[in-house]
A and B are shown apart, each in its own frame.
Chain A
Amino acid sequence: MDYFAQQLINGLVLGSIYGLIAIGYTMVYGIVGMINFAHGDIFMIGGFIAMISFLVLVSLGLTAIPLILLIVLLVSMVITALYGWTIERIAYRPLRHSFRLAPMLSAIGMSFVLTNFSQVSQGARVKPVPPIVTGGYTLHEGPAGFAVQLSNIQIVVVLATIVLLAVFTWLVSRTRLGRDMRACEQDQTMAALLGVDVDRTISMTFVIGAALAAVAGMMYLLYYGLVDFFMGFVAGIKAFTAAVLGGIGSLPGAMLGGLAIGLIETFWSAYFSVEYKDVAAFSILIVVLIFMPTGLLGRPEVEKV
């Protein structure tokens, strides 16, 4: 029972990170109808920028952990958001009304660019960072000496996710930008005719998605204490799986899907085999798409004849 509770905590934390990435996929898919293949790599870039800025801040002699965290968070969100903006501008916008496969390949190309850019610029070796947020609580001491731990970093990850999700939900449901985004999702031509700046709205979608991915990257760095240039690929596919599982286009769905994938992966590793945890996640994707093509919270698509 204790073991189970511990895995539940671990799974929820991992799921929060996936959920944050998944939101970026779901938003972009909702608004431009393409899988932003480079999104996983944006997450990786976010992790790198958090790692570098953390290193610089510490070497400058800053010691207040909350202040460091806040600065790192802001820096990585801003810079990574600019990456999202630039990528949309360079690789996707010229292809927006093109042949469907072209933006997809352009996105795959962009993913290679980002992966190899960070490999070339920062080297291929894994970058470890010392634990930044330490300490935690023991929730329950089991008889066999197994204790259920809840570390501070886990609390930070979950809290950050909840806060961001709240802000983000407010953004989409209550602001002008959110309304424009929903309008573009429904019908871009009509939105443009009604005075919505479609280009700007799509740009903002990428910016917000990238900023959330940056948070996920930073949380990953804090939680696992390392980043490497290849971490975007698998995390990206899993986050996409999460977005699909939740119902693509649905924001709460993305978060729910993220949590589900995080839990599945953690429990699979804990009870079956660590080696096949990715196989499990991908198999879930296939099974979900076959039996629930619209995901948990997605809108059903009616076939028009």
Chain B
Amino acid sequence: MSATSARPSHAAQPSGSAFILKKALISAAVALVLFSLMIGIRTEAGPQGGLIYWTRFGDLAALVGTVFGGSIIIELLRQWWGPIDTDHIVPKPVQAAMSFAGRWLAPALLVFAFLVPVIFYNQRYILDLSILVLTYVMLGWGLNVVVGLAGLLDLGYVAFYAVGAYSYALLATNFGLSFWVCLPLAGILAAFWGVLLGFPVLRLRGDYLAIVTLAFGEIIRLVIINWQSLTGGPNGVSGIPRPTLFGIPLDNSDDGLAAKLGIDFSPTHRIVFLFYLILAMALLTNWVTIRLRRLPIGRAWEALREDEVACRALGINVTTTKLTAFATGAMFGGFAGAFFATRQGFISPESFTFQESALVLAIVVLGGMGSQLGVALAALTMIGGFELFRGFDQYRMLVFGIAMVLLMIWRPRGLIGHRAPTVYLERNQAISSDLVKEGHG
């Protein structure tokens, strides 16, 4: 596998200012060529329809200068730090303190999550953002079953999210079914689609599975766009009913919750309700997943990730095991989709692009495959970080892409780099992720 052993070690890397300067010059030259036309010249469709262009050599020079300077700084930092590894950046005592904090992190986060609506009651923006983060936590936890536990690479997870959202939207707008009736239906329908996709493709491995799930996600989106009579096509479905507290609407009406409780109506009530709804759904996902890991099915998922051939030799039906993983993950995605639909009140195919799948997958991988806490932290980091760039809308995805690349280089194994055993005799000790396989299916 490793060709590193055959190559000279990196210890013999040259240093000195001449080397740094040479490297920076090369980087700047590469940047100059790369950006020459793309940045140096700006094209646009002119008033007559033909293309016009103007030059931006100032921007080009600035960018190349930045690359030059940046290259020098990075090289200096690298020589000052030596080889990049965690011990160097984070001293041992701090690591120990962190692992102690780590034990309290999950309960602390949970308590904090419960208190968010109390603390930020008057800050609508934070409440909305928290709901968004929790939605992604739930999606991350759902996909974690498929990717993190069973080791099946799914790049089309958004399809199940879409199935859930459209199931609720269409059932509610066409048949007037309530959210609480539709929620399980949305999950079941999504799981059904998960099995439907799973059946044919589960013989595939690794990247093939990834590309087929991606194609499946795109097919679902294209069908939604084109099947206008059912889904409204690109215009989407609007007027999706808001959720009710078991039949009591959260609105300004006479039988609304506020009126029944005899308090003044506030639109924040609904937001707070939505917050606790998604919190409960996410926690349910988490609870079920933790339970499943300790059941034979969950252990079989992990065993499948570790070695599929060995699983077969132990009498495990690999096909049904994979299908249950797919179905379980899809079901959680479907629940999240139904929530998304009721929160937005409007859905359209634009919300279910490949970027969403990639985002959720990035959350799972960044979290450290299989780690529930890691996924929650990663969702918080990613969605929170994403929000920081709200003002620079057009740079958002650019920065997101760069962050994805850098995060993978920095922590290819994710934030939480170990696996907790599901059962133990005496010592509950974590297993280093170097041993844990990533699955090949």
Contacts and interface: CB of A to CB of B under 8 A. Distances in A.
Binding between chains A and B: yes
Interface of A: 29, 33-35, 45, 48-49, 51-53, 55-56, 59, 75, 78-79, 82-83, 86, 90-91, 94-95, 97-106, 108-123, 125-130, 188-189, 191-193, 198-199, 233, 237, 240-241, 244, 275-276, 278-279, 282-283, 285-286, 289-290, 293, 303, 305
A121 B38 contact: yes
A120 B56 CA distance: 13
A51 B413 CA distance: 40
Interface residues of B, number: 68
A82 B203 contact: no
Nearest to A51: B43
A106 B405 contact: yes
B215 A282 contact: yes
DSSP majority for the A interface? helix
Interface string B378-410: 000000000000000011011011111100110
Interface-central residue, A193, A199, A289, by most chain B CB under 10 Å: A289
Interface of B: 1-7, 30, 33-34, 36-39, 41-45, 49-51, 53, 147, 153, 200-201, 203-204, 206-208, 210-212, 214-216, 218-219, 222-223, 225-226, 309, 354-355, 358, 361-362, 365, 369, 394-395, 397-398, 400-405, 408-409, 412-413, 438, 440
Contacts of A282: 215-216, 218-219, 222
DSSP majority for the B interface? helix
A128 B404 contact: no
B397 A55 contact: no
Given A109-B403, A286-B212, A55 B408 contact: no
Contacts, number: 207
B45 A55 contact: no
Contact of B37 (A35, A53, A108): A53
Contact of B358 (A82, A108, A120): A108
A45 B404 CA distance: 20
Contacts of A45: 38
Given A105-B361, A110-B405, A52 B215 contact: no
A252 to B, nearest CB: 20
A185 to B, nearest CB: 13
Contact of A34 (B42, B207, B309): B207
A105 B369 CA distance: 13
Contact of A95 (B30, B207, B358, B409): B409
B38 A48 contact: yes
Nearest to A99: B412
Nearest to B400: A112
